Amino acid sequence: MFIRSLKAEYIKTKASGLKWLCLGAAIFIPLIQFLFYVLVSDTVYVNKPQNPWMDFINGSIGAFAPFFYPLLCVLIVLRLAQFEHKADAWKLLETQPVSKAALYFSKWVMCILVALACLLLLLLLSVLFVFLLSLINADAEYKTSSIEWGKALWFVIKIWIAGFGLMALQYFLSISIANFVAPFVIGLIATIAGTILGQFQIMPWWPYTAPQNTANYYAQSSDWLLPHEQLSILFMLLFLFLGFRLFSYKKIKYAVIKPVTRLVGVVACIALFAFAFWFVNRPKQLERGSKTVIAGEIESKEKISTLYLMDAITRDTIETIPVQQNRFVAQVKEDIPAAFYYLRMGSDMRQIFLGKGDSIYIDAEISELGKKTTITGTRVAENRYSMSNDFENNFWYLENMAYQYQPKQFAKNVLDEWKKGEKEIDKYKTVSNIKPSDDFLQVQKKLLRLKLLQLLDQHYPQVFRVYHPNDTLKYPKEVDELRKGATLNDESLLFSDNYIQFLGGHYRKASKAYTDSGYYGYVVQNFPAGKAKDIFLFRSLSEFISIVPDSAKRQYFISNFGKAISSPKLISALHEKNKSLNSMKRGKPAPEVHAETLNGKPFALSSLKNRFIVVDVWATWCGPCKKEAPYFKELAERYTSESIAFVSLSIDEKKNDWKIDAMGKAEKVLQLWATNATEELNKNYNIESIPRFMLIDNKGRILNANMPRPSDPEFENILLKETAAFRR
């Protein structure tokens, strides 16, 4: 009976315009994308995808899902329901020897089948267009990669499932309301609201946002069905139940209230839905086991045979992890505390949060086009949180606009930010509704508190002193609440730059010292002994010595204050650092730098021997570097000769970013991209900030490892002085 009913529904779709609707909806985005690639992409789309097939297909589906798909669902459901409303044919169907369930659900099944057909058509057309594109476009990536059918199909099916909830709601409306305007307007408004809500990630359960969420999160999660997709199914069950009730009993009174058994049924169903809704939406915290395991997959052109898990501060190797056939699995033997660690994968270094008892899975793709690392497992929430939340930048207005505020107002702003921030930390969960562990959340809250305290007690007082030299700063009492929780030797926070900064600020203020040695003397004396002291001293000293150009002075600080560090490892690391700084001394041989030219040919800095080399270390994301570039170029045009070379050395992660920028720049400046910036250039030359300018002599020795900026006339003076004998 159901099948008969479904067949009858199929006959009705003939000549109904549904086919054209689906075709139109499905062709629109692939066509636009195709035209974009053909007509515009040469200049705009330079970051070539690794798999252009999948990029095109996923692009089509991803663009289709947020708005077009829900709207299409609304229209499909409306059209199918309007068959009967328009023909006044419910009375015909209901006087057939066919059960109401068969009538109601066959039409529903028809709705979702049409939606599926449309999505499959979209997939097919995307494949067709990307195939056409591959004929036009000669890029090698089309040959080296292929369509991953399983992934593409699963993506489509997930979008389809995500649409069930909204379709069932529309089905309920479209069947019970004979007029077509009301369900359409409701559907349109709800869809538009859904796209907006999705943008701001508000009300993630809203059924009309579900396809968009699937498109956004599909790549992020390996879950079979994400919570919003499970909710979509729940919404479907609820609205199908209510809709069918109303359809069979016609009047709300009989469908819901009379007799009492029906009321009980409806109430029970809604209660069940509410429970399931809560169950799916509840935040989860993951259980940890007894073993600490790191496993994963790594895809890279560079041959990586070993990974290193390292301490974030000392960079000591905690575990070496062998890689076999791009896969690795290892147990961490040490009892490591939950904290941030570094995982070195070839030339790439990745920060990961990890602790005893965690099982972590890492999926890494490293290529010259960029890096992509996905971390799943028991610390998925922590690692995702630290990638997405960077609250350091959130208080710029408190920092830069501090002068605008009176103490009372400033304190109030700080306290408001505190409450807001804590709430956000508590609220955070991943798309799979997983919350970070409590210890991690505590650390995040402490960091937030410290950052705000820093603004309150270290930053604002300075500002206040300048703007109100004759007044004394008095905060309202409420700020004590914020101060209470701050501790000066919290080991769990030592990984954080913010904490080190906070401690520095605190001790500098407390020491009342005007000299660095006075300050360090105070710290050595007053900081309670322990791991926190070791690490604080290590970190602040190594930062300090890297800005001290005088090697004798560096040695003085290390031997006087470094000895207060109890860990021999940290002390030797400090000496190591000093050694590399000493090697930057005038007359020391300049370490080799391996790089690539714009033609893609390997290039070694040492091959410029017999010439003086003026080096500009920069990156595309660095604003100040770009400001200096014209000055550098101007000098290059004047002084480049057989004996002097000007080199711009980029430390960009993505080679293509550099290429876009460097292409078409001054001929006189040799444009290079450091092939192993982190491990070679940064380390050997101790590059901690850019722009950095260096001068190397014609014997390959360092003349000046820290030149002033070219915009400073001193730059030219040094250059002229050092090269005087060799210029013509």
Partner 1 sequence: MPLAIETKHLSYCFNKKRKVIDDLSLQVPEGSIYGFLGPNGAGKTTTMRLLTSLLKTEEDNIFLYGKSLLKNIPYIFQNVSALIETPSLYLHLSATENLKVVATLRGIEKAAIPNILAMVNLDKHASRKVKEYSLGMKQRLALAIALLPNPDMLMLDEPANGLDPHGIIEMRELLIRLNKEEGKTIFVSSHILSEVEKTCTHIGIIHKGHLQFQGSIDELRRTAESKKAFFVIDNVEEWRNTINERIDQPVAWDNSHLVVDVRSRQDVVAMNTKLVNMGVPVININSGGGLEEWFLNMTKN
Phi/psi region, residue 397 (left: phi>0; alpha: psi -120 to 50; beta: rest), is: alpha
Give 8 or 63: the residue with its C-beta nearer to partner 1: 8
Task: For residue 24, give both structure tokens.
Answer: 């139109």
Q: Nearest CA to 659 among 594, 593, 596, 592?
A: 596
Give 262 or 654: the residue with its C-beta nearer to partner 1: 262
Residue of 2, 28, 67, 83 interacting with partner 1 (CB under 8 A) = 83
Residue of 47, 99, 179, 462 interacting with partner 1 (CB under 8 A) = 99
CB of 78 to partner 1, least distance (A): 15
- Could you say whether residue 193 binds partner 1 (CB under 8 A)? no
Distance separating alpha carbons of residues 634 and 630, to the nearest angstrom:
6
CB of 116 to partner 1, least distance (A): 22
Give 251 or 483: the residue with its C-beta nearer to partner 1: 251
- Could you say whether residue 4 binds partner 1 (CB under 8 A)? yes
Contacting partner 1 within 453-472 (CB under 8 A) = none
Distances from the Cα of 644 to the Cα of 219, 496, 522, 593, 670, angstroms: 50, 43, 48, 18, 12
Give 85 or 655: the residue with its C-beta nearer to partner 1: 85
- Please calculate the CA angle 344-346-347 and round it to the nearest 5 degrees: 90
Q: Nearest CA to 28 among 113, 118, 108, 106?
A: 118
Give 11 or 466: the residue with its C-beta nearer to partner 1: 11
Q: What DSSP character marks residue 284?
A: B
Whether the CB-CB separation of 575 and 558 falls below 8 Å is answered with yes
Unique residue bearing structure tokens 């937030």 = 448
Give 103 or 694: the residue with its C-beta nearer to partner 1: 103
- Could you say whether residue 146 binds partner 1 (CB under 8 A)? no
Task: For residue 519, give both structure tokens.
Answer: 């300050």
Give 89 or 219: the residue with its C-beta nearer to partner 1: 89
Residue of 35, 87, 271, 663 interacting with partner 1 (CB under 8 A) = 87
Number of residues that bind partner 1 (CB under 8 A): 31
Give 82 or 212: the residue with its C-beta nearer to partner 1: 82
Stretch that binds partner 1, among 7-15, 187-195, 215-223, 612-620 (CB under 8 A): 7-15
Residue of 100, 284, 585, 627 interacting with partner 1 (CB under 8 A) = 100
Q: Nearest CA to 159 among 237, 202, 217, 77?
A: 217
Whether the CB-CB separation of 311 and 332 falls below 8 Å is answered with no
Stretch that binds partner 1, among 19-27, 92-100, 204-212, 232-240 (CB under 8 A): 92-100
CB of 98 to partner 1, least distance (A): 6
CB of 28 to partner 1, least distance (A): 24
Sign of CA dihedral 634, 635, 636, 641: positive
Distances from the Cα of 359 to the Cα of 58, 356, 441, 553, angstroms: 30, 9, 19, 46
- Could you say whether residue 14 binds partner 1 (CB under 8 A)? yes
Q: What DSSP character marks residue 436?
A: P
Contacting partner 1 within 655-674 (CB under 8 A) = none
Give 15 or 138: the residue with its C-beta nearer to partner 1: 15
Q: At how many degrees (to 10) do helices 68-87 and 52-64 cross?
A: 50
* CA 468 remoteness from chain centre: 42
CB of 86 to partner 1, least distance (A): 7
Distance separating alpha carbons of residues 194 and 202, to the nearest angstrom:
9
Stretch that binds partner 1, among 4-12, 147-155, 319-327, 443-451 (CB under 8 A): 4-12
Give 3 or 466: the residue with its C-beta nearer to partner 1: 3
Q: Nearest CA to 73 among 266, 235, 225?
A: 235
CB of 82 to partner 1, least distance (A): 10
Phi/psi region, residue 375 (left: phi>0; alpha: psi -120 to 50; beta: rest), is: beta
Give 175 or 590: the residue with its C-beta nearer to partner 1: 175
- Could you say whether residue 25 binds partner 1 (CB under 8 A)? no
Distance separating alpha carbons of residues 486 and 454, to the nearest angstrom:
10
- Could you say whether residue 93 binds partner 1 (CB under 8 A)? yes
- Could you say whether residue 575 binds partner 1 (CB under 8 A)? no
CB of 61 to partner 1, least distance (A): 31
Contacting partner 1 within 218-277 (CB under 8 A) = 249-251, 254, 258
Q: At how many degrees (to 10) do helices 713-723 and 623-639 cross?
A: 40
Residue of 94, 148, 490, 543 interacting with partner 1 (CB under 8 A) = 94
| Close Cβ partners of 367 (under 8 Å, ≥ 6 residues apart) | 50, 299, 300, 301
CB of 188 to partner 1, least distance (A): 23
Give 92 or 720: the residue with its C-beta nearer to partner 1: 92
Binding site for partner 1 (CB under 8 A): 4-5, 7-8, 11-12, 14-17, 83, 86-100, 249-251, 254, 258
